[in-house]
Amino acid sequence: MKIKKIETETDEIPEQMIINSITAAVSEQRLPAGTKLVETTLSELFNCNRANVRRALSTLATMHVVQLRPNRGAFISTPSPKEASDVFEARRTIERIVACNVIKNACAQDIVDMRATIAAEAKARAQGDKPAELRLSRKFHMDLAAIADNQVLEKFLSELTLRTTLIIGLYNTLGSSNCAEDEHSRIVQAIEARDEEQLIRLIDQHLKHLESSLDFERSIEPLPTLAEQLNA
C-alpha cells in the first residue's frame, strides 16, 4: 500500500506534528487502543527521521496515550478495566474542583460558547459524524477546565479526557461519546444559575453514567492499518 504523507505546517517541529496528529486521531477514535505505531510508517507519513518519531512516542508514553513494549514496539494504550475505573475516579475528583472555579469565573460569553458547542455536538450526532461528536464532547469538558483558569488541572484533564476516549472506544459497544445532550445542557444551566452544589452533582452523575455504559467483556474488532487511520 502506498503511504500518503500528512500535510503539516512547515514551521512545526516533527515531534510536535506527530504528537498533535496522534492525539487528534485518538480524540476522534480514528486511532483505537492496541494500534501498533510502526516507526518506519510514521517516519514516511511525516517525512522525518526515526529519531524524531522515537522522541514523539516517548512524549506520548508520558501522557499514557502510548505504551512502549520492550522488543515489540509502540502501541496506542489499551487501558485495563482497573485503569478505566481509576481514570473515571480521577476525573470526578478533578472536575469537582474545576466546577467550583467555573462557578466563580464563568461569564455570559462562556455560557453562549458552551451552548454553541452543545448544539454543534448534537448536530454531529444527528448527522452520524462520530469523530466530530467525540471531538466536541471532549471540547465541552476542556472548555470548562479553561474557564476554571488552573493550567495544572487543565493539563491533567486534557490527558484524562484523551484516555477516556480510548476507554470508551475499547469498552463501549456504541463507540460514541455517550455524553447525552441534556446532561451537558443541565451542566450549563447550573453554571448560569451559579449553583455550585447542583453543578458538582450533575458532573458526578454525568461521569458515572459514562462509566456505567462500559462493557468490559466486549470483544475487540480487527484494526485497520496505521496509515489508513491517520489519513482518515
One domain, residues 73 and 92: no
Instruction: Write out pLDDT tens, residues 61-93.
Output: 999 999 999 999 999 999 999 999 999 999 999
Distant-in-sequence, close-in-space partners of 13: CB < 8 Å, separation ≥ 6 = none
**φ, ψ dihedrals at 80, nearest 5°:** -80, 165
pTM of the model: 0.84
pLDDT tens for 148-182 read 999 999 999 999 999 999 999 899 865 455 566 68
Q: Do 54 and 88 reside in the same domain of the chain?
A: no
Q: Buried b vs exposed e over 188-198: b needs ≥16 C-beta within 10 Å?
A: bbbbeeeebeb
Residues 63 and 97 in one domain: no
* Residue 161 counted as domain residue: yes
Task: Evaluate whether residue 7 is within a structural domain.
Answer: no
- Is residue 1 included in any domain, yes or no? no
Indicate whether 9 pLDDT > 60.
no
Report pLDDT digits (tens) over 92-145: 999 999 999 999 999 999 999 999 999 999 999 999 999 999 999 999 999 999
140 lies in the same domain as 97: yes
Which residues lie below 8 Å from residue 91, measured CB to CB, with a gap of 6+?
Answer: 157, 160, 161, 164, 207
Query: From CA 34, how far away is CA 75, in angstroms rounded?
Result: 6
Same-domain pairing of 96 and 201:
yes
Range of the domain at 48: 14-78+218-230
In this structure, the answer to whether residues 90 and 165 fall within a common structural domain is yes
- In terms of domains, do 34 and 62 share one? yes
Calpha distance 79→65 (Å, rounded):
9
Tell me: do 159 and 194 sit in the same domain: yes
- What is 105-126 written as a DSSP string? H--HHHHHHHHHHHHHHHHHHH
pLDDT at 3 (0 to 100)? 39
Question: What does the block give as the cell for 103?
Answer: 462557578
Instruction: Indicate which CATH number applies to the domain containing 55.
Output: 1.10.10.10
Report if residue 62 sits inside a domain: yes
Which pLDDT band, with edges at 50, 70 and 90, does 13 fall under? confident
5 in any annotated domain: no
Report how many domains make up the chain: 2
Within-domain flag for 8: no
Q: Are residues 74 and 97 in the same domain?
A: no
Question: How far is the C-alpha of 184 from the C-alpha of 122, rounded, in Å?
Answer: 11
